[in-house]
Amino acid sequence: MHWLSLGELSRLIEVFHKEDVKAAVMAGQVKHKQIFSSIRPDWRLAKLLLNLRTRNTDMLLGAVAKVLADEGIELMSSTQFLEPLLAEEGVLTEAAGGRGPSEDERKDIEYGLGVARAVSGFDIGQTVVVAAQACVAVEAMEGTDAIIERAGHLMRSLEEEDGSSASTLERRLTVVKVAKPDQDMRFDVPVIGIKTIETMIEAGASCLSVEAGRTLLFDREALLKRAVEAGIAVVATPRQGVGGME
């Protein structure tokens, strides 16, 4: 086992060559905001960062993948050994004994898919939070849990300002998470886990939509069990629309 700092790209390559590594898989998460952290990149990573036209996730990790490829190291799909964890199309909570989305939640999913796909096309984020077919929050560098928390805080602030939970429009939140239109499965594949559900409960969100075949569900049984207990509907939609909810 070798421990390396996030900024040690040259040492990573040296270790791979020393151990005769010809293929590698990315696992875990590197938060996009880390490009502004105090981690000091080595000369190779610093050169890579400074030469990028833009510094979004795909550009950064794609450049690292190219450097590895130039050194004879193939970066494989991050789902290579995790395919059983990919969400299959359909209403996942119904299969687990829970409910499917209501008509209003279906409308929120449909609207949210359009917004999320547009935003993810610019590699800004992959998640939006919607209420009553209005976009409440859009993900950027902060990550999925943080955007759900932000949306929940916004809705609670309305109740505090009004002194009432009554509203002409439904305030319940629907979370919509998609893969990028040209998702590179080698890195930054959408992931949800039980923490996502717990964050939704805290925020008052009632429905979660993910993209079938391109979203990893960690601790799937525990995740769906908690969602069913909380009355949250979890749906995996096909790439082209919401037909998987039927």
- Check whether 69 has a pLDDT greater than 70: yes
Per-residue confidence (pLDDT) for residue 141, from 0 to 100: 86
Domain housing 39: 9-75
Q: Is residue 131 located within the same domain as residue 194?
A: yes
Per-residue confidence (pLDDT) for residue 167, from 0 to 100: 62
What average pLDDT does this structure show over 51-73? 87
Domain termination residue (choose one: 36, 51, 75): 75
Q: Which residue has the higher pLDDT, 159 or 66?
A: 66
Tokens (6 digits) for 15: 């270790």
Q: Is residue 89 located within the same domain as residue 53?
A: no
Instruction: Specify the DSSP class assigned to residue 234.
Output: E
Q: Is residue 228 located within the same domain as residue 212?
A: yes
Q: Which of 166-175, 181-190, 225-234 has the highest mean pLDDT?
A: 225-234
Q: Looking at the domain assignment, is residue 1 inside a domain? A: no
Query: Quick one: 156 exposed, middle or buried, by C-beta within 10 A (0-12, 13-18, 19+)?
Result: middle
- Check whether 53 has a pLDDT greater than 70: yes
Residues 71-126: pLDDT tens digits? 999 999 988 899 999 999 999 999 999 999 999 999 999 999 999 999 998 988 99
Q: Looking at the domain assignment, is residue 224 inside a domain? A: yes
- Check whether 169 has a pLDDT greater than 80: no
Q: Is residue 97 located within the same domain as residue 59?
A: no
Q: Is residue 49 located within the same domain as residue 91?
A: no
For residue 140, give the CATH number of its domain.
Answer: 3.40.140.80
Q: Is residue 14 located within the same domain as residue 99?
A: no
Q: Which residue has the higher pLDDT, 78 or 169?
A: 78
Q: Is residue 38 located within the same domain as residue 110?
A: no
Q: Which residue has the higher pLDDT, 57 or 229?
A: 229
Confidence of residue 158 (pLDDT cuts 50, 70, 90): confident
Q: Is residue 138 located within the same domain as residue 220?
A: yes
Rounded to two decimals, the pTM is: 0.85
Residues 191-221: pLDDT tens digits? 999 999 999 999 999 999 999 999 999 999 9
Report d(CA 130, CA 198) in Å as an integer.
18
Q: How many CB atoms sit inside 10 A of residue 159's CB?
A: 14
- Check whether 244 has a pLDDT greater than 60: no
Q: Is residue 101 located within the same domain as residue 28?
A: no
CB 58 within 8 Å of CB 192: no
Closest CA to 150 of 129, 168, 164, 166: 129
Q: Is residue 18 located within the same domain as residue 109?
A: no
Domain termination residue (choose one: 41, 57, 75): 75
Q: Which residue has the higher pLDDT, 39 or 25?
A: 25
Q: Is residue 129 located within the same domain as residue 64?
A: no
Closest CA to 177 of 187, 188, 191, 165: 191
Task: Report the share of the chain in percent with pLDDT over 90.
Answer: 60
Helix (H) or strand (E) holding 240: none
Q: Is residue 204 located within the same domain as residue 227?
A: yes
Q: Looking at the domain assignment, is residue 4 inside a domain? A: no
**Number of domains the chain contains:** 2
CB 124 within 8 Å of CB 56: yes
Domain termination residue (choose one: 75, 95, 110): 75
Task: Report the share of the chain in percent with pLDDT over 70.
Answer: 89
